[in-house]
């Protein structure tokens, strides 16, 4: 019932009409038939003694299968001493229910104040007059608190339930930054309509129980006058609790996001502190006959710790960027209806020493659900790679279709960008896309890109998702998988929004003409994807990013530590090469130039930070430092632990989304190996720097075994959907 059902009983005084403030009690329900009529009766009984306010009840029911809505509708027919309203809608979570309720109460019922209240009697209706007393005293946000003096939680709660409540408040207070409030997760609250009108409800980025925290954060931000009154929380007698792990995950993520919303002031403070520290150090040492080298070392490390803290905060912000607003999350979604195929695609498939996987990849690309007359597959190999060439020809003979072409080159350099340029020279279609020899490609990906390009004609590049799958193959695999997950799902959206885009290595779709205009790929660069992305974005070419788990290209993480370090060394060295080309100086905005410098040099910042950690810890224990200096030295470690927490949440989400086998041991190994993995990144960065200094620019190849395909067969993670094709 989208418009709501109401029985309106106006209140009149025969002698004189009295204007009273309107208060609406909003009760979200889902399968609460055992509680709802009892609660309404209890509320009506309390309303009898309330003289200064006009009271009403709004039940927001999420189409309860148990008939809760029907009960309320039938109940509301009999005339009570107040107004009873029913607002029905689809089940979207507690936060969405409250948003619908707020809008209806304020716009339709003209409420001056609204209550948030549970339907399960955990909130005592007899407390309502005390809320209204606080309202009359000038407060516009009154919280029924379990954790102020006089409040309580049930004595019979188990340790898990108590920890859930306590830890939730710790996150809200000390991570999200709601320090003054003792009970940030309380669900029993009275809020002024004036406050609600000032808050953008649709952008609170909370569908579940974290709505309470997010809404409170915004209320405090706009200077709401908040008061906590003690209440006794009562455990439900009937029905079941609706909170689940997804709510806990959303709550934790939102805690960090709210903290990051304050990061601008924090960053300014940190930068100012760096300059003040340097200034004070200079003043303290000028004129001294002998330099205090211990102090010089300490001050240097404090300054570097502050810089590393800024780097960590920036990294956290980009990691969580896509989750900040629902609008950003929508960008990852692919179209539900495909337009008629019109775009033609040339697939460039470079391969070197890929005998084990190339045949399956060619077959997968050929099986794509798209008209064959709008496709061509160009497989590219170097002349001496006879094993791979033999496998390619076998597959070509088996398929027997001239849309598959083999390009063999015999000149140098022998690397991926050189091969791509060879393929580009003969490509004839409108859109150029790149895949790697081990890729597992969704058969509908061209329908997605064809539709998105038709609907966004100003977009020149579309970066689709790439995801490593074998998260449990080696001790470092889960960390590597998570890097891809956050990079393609979140961080690339940030880059696309600011117009400085280092692209991913494959599953990227270019309009053919823009590649021709810049003469293709730089054959001397070890990260040709980042290089071409930066060169194109400096020219204002718009990039769009899509990460949809259904359409993400599946790949495998390296099988050995040696392979991983070689691969990461190549990336780091390539980033350094891109930096030294100085194409990024062509960006029109200073912010884009600074971001380019940050991204291209971040591996070396991470290496410095990892190397600094043991030295910082040693200095903390070796020297008697002021408390503030000690805090600054340990701050990067603290931020790394925050990153670890977010990574664990991301790993759980990845496993859940891709329907992989859940294993607690994987999470334990992830925690234990978090810092060793950071050391591997540091070693790779230093190795890349050394190779660049000595002039070693050869392409170190990573071996592919098809480990991600084994996961496919055992876990059945290939999903199938039927989509309607629009004419």
**SS in 3 state form for 310-324?**
HHHHHHHHHHCHHHC
Which residues make Cβ contacts (< 8 Å) with residue 414, sequence separation at least 6? Answer: 352, 382, 699
42 neighbors 125 (Cβ within 8 angstroms): yes
Q: HEC string of 425-472? A: HHCCCCEEEECCCCCECCCCHHHHHHHHHHHCCCEEEEEECEEECCCC
Rounded CA gap, 636 and 313, in Å? 9
pLDDT of residue 175: 58
pLDDT for 682 equals 83
536-540 long-range contacts, CB within 8 A, separation 24+: 536/460, 536/461, 536/501, 537/499, 537/500, 537/501, 537/587, 538/583, 538/584, 538/586, 538/587, 539/586, 540/499
Candidates 723, 658, 256, 249; CA nearest to 489 is: 658
Which is nearest to 117 in space by CA: 135, 94, 134, 139? 94
Separation of alpha carbons 377 and 361, rounded Å: 11
pTM score over 0.85: no
Q: Check if the beta carbon of residue 502 is closer than 8 Å to that of residue 602.
A: no
Name the burial class of residue 397, with classes exposed (0-12), middle (13-18) and buried (19+) by CB atoms within 10 angstroms of its CB: exposed
Distances (CA, A) of 72 to 61, 84, 135, 535, 571: 9, 8, 28, 62, 62
CA distance 281 to 276: 8
Strands 724-726 and 337-339, sheet pairing:
parallel
Residue 344: strand, helix, or coil: coil
Give per-residue pLDDT as tens, 232-249: 887 765 555 555 445 455
Query: Which parts of the chain have pLDDT scores under 70?
Result: 1-19, 77-82, 156-177, 179, 203, 205-209, 236-301, 606-633, 701-727
The structure tokens listed for 435 are 């895949």
pLDDT score for 305: 74
Q: Which two tokens stand for residue 517?
A: 């205009």
* CA pair distance 342, 320, nearest whole angstrom: 36
Q: How high is the pLDDT of residue 670?
A: 93
H-type alpha helices, 623-663: 627-657
Quick check: 27 and 57 in contact, CB under 8 A?
A: yes
Predicted confidence at residue 452, as pLDDT, reads 94
The residues with which 380 forms a beta bridge, in sequence order, are 350, 407
Asked if 170 and 179 touch (Cβ cutoff 8 Å), the reply is: no
- CA 555 → CA 182, 441, 442, 530, 559, distances in Å? 47, 9, 12, 19, 12
568 in helix, strand or coil? helix
Give the pLDDT of residue 679. 84
What pLDDT, on the 0 to 100 scale, is given for residue 364? 92
Cβ neighbours of 654 (radius 10 Å): 22
pLDDT tens figures, 36-61: 988 998 999 899 889 889 999 999 99
The pLDDT of residue 722 = 32
Position 179 scores a pLDDT of 64
472 near 666, Cβ under 8 Å? yes
Write the burial class of residue 673 (CB in 10 Å: 0-12 exposed, 13-18 middle, 19+ buried).
middle
44 CB-near residues (< 8 Å, 6+ apart) = 80, 81, 82
CA 435, 437, 441, 446 torsion-angle sign: positive
DSSP code, position 506 = S
């Amino acid at each position: 019932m989208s418009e709501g059902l109401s029985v309106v009983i106006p209140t009149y005084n025969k002698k004189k009409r009295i204007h009273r403030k309107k208060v609406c009690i909003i009760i979200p329900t889902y399968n609460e038939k055992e509680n709802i009529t009892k609660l309404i009766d209890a509320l009506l009984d309390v309303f009898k003694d309330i003289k200064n306010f006009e009271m009403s009840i709004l039940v927001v029911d999420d189409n309860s299968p148990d008939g809760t809505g029907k009960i309320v509708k039938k109940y509301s027919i009999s005339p009570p001493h107040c107004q009873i309203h029913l607002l029905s809608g689809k089940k979207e979570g507690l936060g969405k229910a409250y948003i619908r309720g707020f809008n209806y109460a304020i716009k339709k019922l003209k409420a001056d104040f609204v209550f948030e209240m549970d339907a399960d009697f955990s909130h005592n209706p007899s407390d309502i007059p005390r809320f209204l007393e606080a309202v009359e005293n000038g407060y516009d946000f009154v919280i029924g608190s379990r954790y102020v003096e006089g409040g309580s939680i049930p004595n019979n709660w188990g340790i898990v339930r108590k920890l859930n409540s306590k830890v939730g408040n710790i996150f809200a207070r000390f991570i999200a930054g709601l320090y003054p409030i003792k009970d940030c997760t309380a669900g029993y609250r009275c809020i002024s309509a004036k406050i609600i009108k000032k808050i953008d409800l649709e952008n609170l980025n909370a569908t579940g129980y974290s709505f309470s925290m997010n809404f409170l954060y915004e209320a405090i931000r706009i200077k709401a006058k908040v008061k906590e009154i003690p209440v006794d929380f009562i455990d439900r007698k009937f029905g079941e609790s609706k909170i689940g792990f997804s709510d806990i995950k959303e709550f934790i993520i939102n805690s960090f996001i709210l903290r990051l919303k304050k990061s601008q002031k924090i960053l300014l403070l940190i930068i100012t502190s760096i300059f003040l520290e340097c200034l004070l150090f200079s003043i303290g040492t000028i004129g001294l006959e002998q330099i205090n080298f211990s102090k010089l070392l300490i001050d240097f490390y404090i300054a570097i710790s502050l810089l590393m803290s800024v780097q960590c905060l920036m990294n956290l912000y980009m990691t969580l960027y896509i989750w900040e607003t629902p609008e950003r999350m929508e960008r990852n979604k692919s179209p539900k209806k495909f337009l008629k195929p019109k775009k033609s695609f040339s697939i460039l498939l470079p391969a070197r020493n890929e005998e084990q996987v190339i045949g399956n990849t060619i077959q997968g690309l050929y099986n794509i659900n798209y008209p064959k007359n709008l496709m061509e597959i160009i497989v590219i190999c170097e002349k001496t790679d006879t094993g791979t060439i033999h496998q390619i020809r076998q597959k070509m003979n088996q398929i027997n279709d001239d849309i598959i072409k083999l390009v063999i080159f015999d000149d140098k350099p022998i690397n991926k960008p050189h091969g791509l340029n060879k393929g580009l020279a003969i490509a004839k279609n409108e859109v150029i896309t790149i895949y790697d020899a081990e890729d597992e490609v969704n058969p509908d990906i061209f329908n997605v890109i064809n539709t998105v390009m038709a609907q966004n004609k100003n977009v020149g590049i579309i970066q689709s998702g790439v995801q490593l799958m074998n998260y449990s193959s080696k001790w470092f695999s889960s960390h590597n998988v998570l890097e891809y997950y956050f990079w393609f799902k979140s961080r690339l959206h940030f880059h696309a929004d600011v117009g400085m885009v280092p692209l991913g290595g494959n599953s990227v779709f270019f309009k053919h003409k823009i590649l021709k205009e810049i003469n293709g790929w730089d054959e001397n660069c070890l990260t040709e994807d980042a290089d071409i992305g930066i060169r194109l974005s400096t020219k204002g070419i718009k990039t769009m990013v899509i990460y949809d788990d259904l359409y993400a290209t599946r790949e495998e993480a390296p099988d050995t530590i040696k392979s991983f370090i070689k691969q990461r060394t190549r990336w780091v060295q390539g980033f350094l090469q891109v930096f030294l080309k100085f194409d990024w100086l062509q960006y029109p905005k200073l912010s884009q130039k600074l971001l380019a410098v940050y991204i291209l040099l971040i591996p070396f910042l991470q290496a410095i930070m990892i190397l600094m950690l043991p030295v910082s810890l040693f200095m903390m224990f070796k020297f008697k430092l002021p408390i503030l200096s000690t805090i600054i030295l340990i701050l990067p470690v603290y931020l790394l632990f925050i990153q670890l927490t977010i990574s664990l949440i991301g790993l759980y989400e990845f496993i859940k989304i891709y329907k992989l086998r859940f294993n607690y041991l994987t999470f334990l190994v992830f925690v234990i190996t978090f810092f060793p993995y950071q050391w591997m990144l540091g070693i790779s960065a230093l190795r890349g720097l050394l190779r660049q200094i000595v002039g070693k620019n050869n392409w170190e190849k990573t071996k592919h075994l098809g480990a991600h395909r084994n996961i496919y067969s055992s876990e059945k993670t290939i999903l199938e959907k039927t989509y309607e094709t629009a004419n």
